[in-house]
Amino acid sequence: MQAIGLQFVDWVIILFYFAFIIGMGFYLKKYTKSEEDFFLAGRRNSAWVAGLAFLSANLGALELLGMTGNTYKYGMYVAHFYWIGAIPAMLFLGIFMMPFYYSSRIKSVPGYLKLRFDEKTRVLNGFTFAIMTLLVSGINLYAMALVLHTFVGWNWDVSIWASAVTVAAYVTLSGLMSAIFTEIIQFFLIWFGLFLVSVLGIVEIGSLGEIMRRVPEAFSKLWSTSGDPTQNGMMITWGGIVMGLGFVLSFGYWTTDFLVVQRAFSAKNLRSARFTPIIASFFKMAVPFIVIVAGLIALVLAQDPKSGFALMSDGGKLNYDSALPMLIARYFPRGLVGLGITALLAGFMAGQAGNISAFNTVWTYDIYQSVINKKASPKHLLWMGRMATIVGIVLSVATAYWAKSMPTIMDYMQAIFSWVNAPLFATMLLGMFVKWITPAGAFWGLIAGMGSSITMYLAVKFAWIPMSAVTLSKVASDMAANFWRAWWAWLICFVVTIGVSLFTRKKPEAELVGLVKGLTAEKVGEAVPWYKTPVFYAALSLIIFVLLNIYFW
């Protein structure tokens, strides 16, 4: 493939960023003296630092390349991932679940499962989360490699390994501290480096209204076409959106995925921890004005033969994820191309750093210390965390090639979440709010939920059953199948957990204090005026969320 081409000033900007990030890794290493420093950034971050890192850990390859490419494929319905697929769950985490997480002083989500249920449930979730994280890490490496492949012309192997080595260098040095630092930088780089793509696209086409007029009607609505799956780009009904994405996948990700929850754990006190996802929710609602608009611009240009715009193709297959890099190449002049690429690479590196820092924590505490070496010293655990980082990066290289083979990385990501996060949310919900749920119920419920989700995925993929058996609709897309599969996995886990709990031994209530609502003293942090409370800002975020859905109905 012929590279799009970079000028000298573009190279200077990109190389300066890489040197700066690795240099900060060495600088922060001197502040990483204990295992808590490495795995939880010392628990001394403010709500704003933790909040921006919370969002940025999510704002990696999936959000940038994946969502832009998915908008090209599905249209405005992709905005559901940012609004109904994020905001209610983020607010629920801050208001209801964070007091349980933070006050118990756990180091990971599987750590909560051990306290609430037992060791085998913790290890089961630890293993499945570690596998899921490595699969998602591969997506970030693939996305970084796609940018290097597109703009520099390196082959895929060189691009993937160059990306892997860079991430390994700075995360190994200072762990979560490095990850959070790069996530903060990445947050601002994305807005300064990529928002211009949407602005220039709107200028070229004429207006946002003109963009909406020139895309198919099925691609320009948010809710009004959800009654009939044939009338929208995602080929799904409102039921799949609300139950599959809005409830199961959304809550399963934002409230149980340790990748993002870990950022809230790094906050300096409970009030800051509760504010972390709430602050992030305001920025999350604004991200579609970068990626959704960019995806619609790419679609309009690709439909116009006079524009000269086209996506990349690999082996005759259209690469939807190339939409954003191709727009950067189209709109950015010399020098700004370097800024745009740096913004992309920053997003991918921060996302990758988030995944690896979550992986090394879960591996070290919930698998290694729990199963392999129960008497490991804090110094040894710190060493193991650094080794897990390197091993995790190497394994991520293998999963990067798998991600490359998928139609879009967003389809791939949602499939992964439906396997692991969807049933886990049922377990966490019952565990936190129903005191009589038993360890055996939680374990077998998780097994049933994850097993059913993977079985449904394979059954549809290899045509053992029709997709309509999962989606309850004759017309459906891969994404619709992901949403419905998540709902069924959650429901199966929920029912099996309750059923088994009715016939197995319960834990004494004394062991559940601090872990279950109703047995836990309410902790809301220090007393502050009502207009400074997390609840007030959560209500404000919810109002904006409702207004956005009505406006784009």
CATH for 179: 1.20.1730.10
User: Which residues are CB-contacts of 126 (< 8 A; sequence separation ≥ 6)?
Assistant: 108, 110, 362, 363, 366, 367, 370
The rounded distance, in Å, linking the Cα atoms of 172 and 183 is 16
At 224 the pLDDT is: 83
Please name which of 257, 295, 291 lies closest in space to residue 277, comparing C-alpha atoms.
Answer: 257
Helix axes 119-151, 109-116, angle to 10 degrees: 170
**DSSP summary character for residue 526:** S
At 506 the pLDDT is: 92
**DSSP summary character for residue 512:** G
Q: Is residue 34 part of a domain?
A: no
Q: What is the pLDDT along the chain (553 residues), one digit of tens a residue?
A: 444 556 777 778 778 877 777 777 676 666 555 555 454 544 567 777 777 777 776 776 567 777 888 888 888 888 888 899 889 999 998 888 787 777 666 666 777 888 889 888 988 888 888 888 888 778 777 777 777 776 667 777 777 787 777 777 666 655 555 566 666 777 777 777 678 888 888 888 888 888 888 888 778 788 888 877 777 777 788 887 888 888 888 888 888 776 677 777 777 788 888 888 898 899 888 888 888 888 899 888 888 887 777 777 766 677 777 788 788 878 877 767 777 777 777 777 766 767 777 787 778 877 888 778 888 887 888 788 778 878 888 888 888 877 776 656 666 677 777 888 888 889 988 988 898 999 999 999 999 999 999 999 888 888 888 888 888 777 767 777 888 888 899 999 999 999 999 999 999 888 888 778 776 666 555 677 777 788 899 999 999 999 989 888 8
Give DSSP secondary structure letters for 445-468: HHHHHHHHHHHHHHHHHTTSS-TH
Q: Which residues pair with 269 in a beta bridge?
A: none
Q: Is residue 2 part of a domain?
A: no
At 357 the pLDDT is: 72
Please name which of 41, 21, 96, 30 lies closest in space to residue 263, comparing C-alpha atoms.
Answer: 41
Q: Is residue 50 part of a domain?
A: yes
Q: Which residues pair with 45 in a beta bridge?
A: 267
The rounded distance, in Å, linking the Cα atoms of 212 and 205 is 10
Task: Judge contact between 424 and 256, C-beta under 8 A.
Answer: yes
Q: Is residue 29 part of a domain?
A: no
The owner of tokens 């790069």 is 182
At 179 the pLDDT is: 61
**DSSP summary character for residue 266:** T
The rounded distance, in Å, linking the Cα atoms of 90 and 209 is 31
Task: Judge contact between 267 and 61, C-beta under 8 A.
Answer: no
Tell which phi-psi region holds residue 30, choosing left (phi > 0), alpha (psi between -120 and 50) or beta: alpha
The rounded distance, in Å, linking the Cα atoms of 353 and 280 is 18
The rounded distance, in Å, linking the Cα atoms of 257 and 338 is 33
User: Which residues are CB-contacts of 506 (< 8 A; sequence separation ≥ 6)?
Assistant: 436, 438
pTM of the entire structure?
0.77
Sign, Cα dihedral of 50, 52, 57, 58: positive
Task: Judge contact between 143 and 65, C-beta under 8 A.
Answer: yes
Ranges assigned E (strand) in 315-446: 317-318
At 41 the pLDDT is: 47
Dihedral angle over CA of 294, 300, 302, 304, nearest 10: -150
Q: Is residue 248 part of a domain?
A: yes
Q: What burial letters (b/e) apply to 69-100, b meaning 16+ CB within 10 Å?
A: bbbbbbbbbbbbbbbbbbbbbbbbbbbebbbb
Please name which of 191, 37, 82, 49 lies closest in space to residue 545, comparing C-alpha atoms.
Answer: 82
CB atoms within 10 A of CB 279: 24
Phi, psi of 305 (to 5 degrees): -60, -20
Please name which of 63, 3, 1 lies closest in space to residue 329, comparing C-alpha atoms.
Answer: 3
User: Which residues are CB-contacts of 59 (< 8 A; sequence separation ≥ 6)?
Assistant: 186, 187, 190, 287, 347, 350, 351
At 467 the pLDDT is: 82
Q: Is residue 272 part of a domain?
A: yes
Q: What burial letters (b/e) apply to 145-157, b meaning 16+ CB within 10 Å?
A: bbbbbbbbebebe
The rounded distance, in Å, linking the Cα atoms of 327 and 292 is 13
At 538 the pLDDT is: 92
Q: Which residues pair with 112 in a beta bridge?
A: none
Q: Is residue 277 part of a domain?
A: yes
Task: Judge contact between 191 and 412, C-beta under 8 A.
Answer: no
The rounded distance, in Å, linking the Cα atoms of 553 and 524 is 36
Q: Is residue 254 part of a domain?
A: yes
505 burial class (0-12, 13-18, 19+ CB within 10 angstroms)? exposed
pLDDT in tens, 431-473: 888 989 999 999 999 999 999 999 998 888 888 888 888 887 7
Q: How many domains does the chain have?
A: 1
| Alpha-helical runs (H) found in 152-223 | 156-205, 208-214
Q: What angle do CA 178, 180, 185 make, to 5 degrees?
A: 95
Its domain, for residue 364, covers: 8-22+40-551
pLDDT in tens, 70-119: 888 888 888 888 899 889 999 998 888 787 777 666 666 777 888 889 88
Number of alpha carbons in the 13 Å side-chain half-sphere of residue 189: 28
Query: How many Å is the maximal CA-CA distance in the chain?
Result: 72
